[in-house]
Amino acid sequence: MQKPKGLLLLSGGIDSPVAAYLVGRKAELIALHFSNEKITGKESIEKSKQLCRVLGIKKFIVIDISDQLAEIASKCKHAYYFVLMRRIMYRIAERIAKQEQCDFIATGESLGQVSSQTLANLVAISQATNMPIVRPLLGFDKEETIKIAKQIGTFEISKGKEMCDVLGPKHPITRASIARVLEEESKLELESMVETALSAAQTLFIEK
């Protein structure tokens, strides 16, 4: 029986490699990394490449969304930044997943681990895509995730500040309503932002 195929959103942080390990036991994975290269440099890309080697993920797609994130930060209410960031990531990921004939999107999101990942926010984020979303860490606490990361050899690569936080607010919204999120998104040229991101996608093949 052929394994299902998933598109993993690989951040370079601690959580998503653990999600990859858990999902990868049952599915074939391609990694998609959203970089913020113009603002934070290439560190997250290099970390993600190393993580792919450890995890045995051979196909690695990188998209720099620095301009899109800067536009969200400048045009929309700042408290909604993380929700809007994740929603545009999901829109782009859905397009990539369909191109790669993936069955689902996998992420390292977990419920309430950070203030932007409340149930209300995850619901609002999920509505940006029609693809099934697999969140194997949904009920994990950070210590459980770190323990697995150490066991599988990804923790030392992943540890450090999350690069996606650079433009984020100190006090993100925790109970985002979809109506309010759509109101903020109406300030953006979403389709153009997605198309520009897709045109910049780079595909790499990782060798051990």
Binned at pLDDT 50, 70 and 90, residue 65 comes out as very high
CA-based R_g, the chain, Å: 16
pLDDT tens-digit readout, 96-115: 999 999 999 999 999 876 77
Angle among Cα 112, 31, 90 to the nearest 5 degrees reads: 55
What CATH class has 5-205?
alpha beta
Q: For residue 208, what pLDDT is reported?
A: 67
Binned at pLDDT 50, 70 and 90, residue 204 comes out as very high
